[in-house]
Amino acid sequence: MDRKEIITLHDVSFSYGNVPVLQDVDFSIFERDFLGIIGPNGGGKTTLLKLILGLVTPDRGEITIFGAPPKAGRKFIGYVPQLFNFDFNFPISVLEVVSMGRLRVRKIGRRFTKEDREISLEALRQVGMEAHQNALIGNLSGGQRQRVFIARALATQPRCLLLDEPVASIDKKWQSEFYELLNELNSELTIVLVTHDVSVVVTYIDQIACLNGKVHYHGSTKEGIHKVSELYQCPVQLIAHEVPHRLLGDHVHD
């Protein structure tokens, strides 16, 4: 049975002022993909996530998320940002952090329901953190915190997870467990992971996309990993879903 196309970017370009960040981005993501987006700092990886979420608007091109424009389609997406974007000195419990995911449904100012609590607790069960529901988020380890943030994203009941450099502040000993968790979640969810760690791509991720201003999307890791060494000396030729994708030209170095 063919998998459905859930995220599509067609001829998308974006600039911050007069500085081009992404050019001629043209690719699709399918349900239950586990996609690793790799590339150098400043190559547009985080900007790509912002475009998918509808937080910024492309200068040119079209983006559809589950058949809708990004601002409408993002209700189906759970987002896990980099850890350093959160103030861990703020006195808030693990369950309260996860419950924030329900604000998409309840909106600010409305009381959480019993159903919201059960959904939040189930999200904590999924990531193995239910026993820590009353702990302060600031008292957890980096790996535990990131599990909580995944639970917050799961509390939105998404069909796709976007993760931006999720192990940037996690000890090495936690990283293998973290990626094993993502593999478990991938049985039900599409996962898009921004990373600069090529070893992670080789070990855990089955689809890769090379991004540095332009994208040549995308191929199985097994078929294309021998090309990763060329990432910073692009172009890279990969095969996507057994269909060759056109080369979008040399990558632009920042």
Q: pLDDT tens digit string along 183-202?
A: 999 999 999 999 877 767 76
Query: How sure is the predictor about 88, in pLDDT bands with cuts at 50, 70 and 90?
Result: confident
Q: pLDDT tens digit string along 1-23?
A: 577 999 999 999 999 999 999 99
Q: Determine, yes or no, domain membership for 254.
A: no
Q: Determine, yes or no, domain membership for 251.
A: no
Helix (H, G, I), strand (E, B) or coil at 67: coil
Q: pLDDT tens digit string along 13-59?
A: 999 999 999 999 988 999 999 998 888 888 899 999 999 999 999 99
CA distance 106 to 52: 23
Q: pLDDT tens digit string along 143-188?
A: 888 899 999 999 999 999 999 988 766 667 777 888 888 999 999 9
CA distance 148 to 170: 13
Q: pLDDT tens digit string along 206-237?
A: 788 888 888 764 556 666 555 555 555 544 33
Domain that holds residue 16: 5-211+221-244
Q: Determine, yes or no, domain membership for 32.
A: yes
- Predicted confidence at residue 250, as pLDDT, reads 39
Q: What's the whole-number mean pLDDT along residues 122-145?
A: 93
- Predicted confidence at residue 166, as pLDDT, reads 83
Q: Determine, yes or no, domain membership for 252.
A: no
- Predicted confidence at residue 254, as pLDDT, reads 39
Number of domains making up the chain: 1
CATH number at residue 39: 3.40.50.300
- Predicted confidence at residue 231, as pLDDT, reads 53
Runs of H (alpha helix) within 62-207: 70-73, 94-99, 103-106, 114-126, 142-154, 172-185, 198-204
- Closest to 162 measured CA to CA, from 246, 237, 51, 24: 51
Query: How sure is the predictor about 251, in pLDDT bands with cuts at 50, 70 and 90?
Result: very low
Q: Determine, yes or no, domain membership for 249.
A: no
Query: How sure is the predictor about 203, in pLDDT bands with cuts at 50, 70 and 90?
Result: confident
Positive or negative, the Cα torsion across 29, 154, 22, 200?
Answer: negative
- Closest to 254 measured CA to CA, from 76, 81, 85, 16: 16
Q: Determine, yes or no, domain membership for 58.
A: yes
Q: Determine, yes or no, domain membership for 250.
A: no
DSSP state of 171: -
Q: Determine, yes or no, domain membership for 111.
A: yes
Encoding tokens for residue 36? 């690793």
- Predicted confidence at residue 143, as pLDDT, reads 84
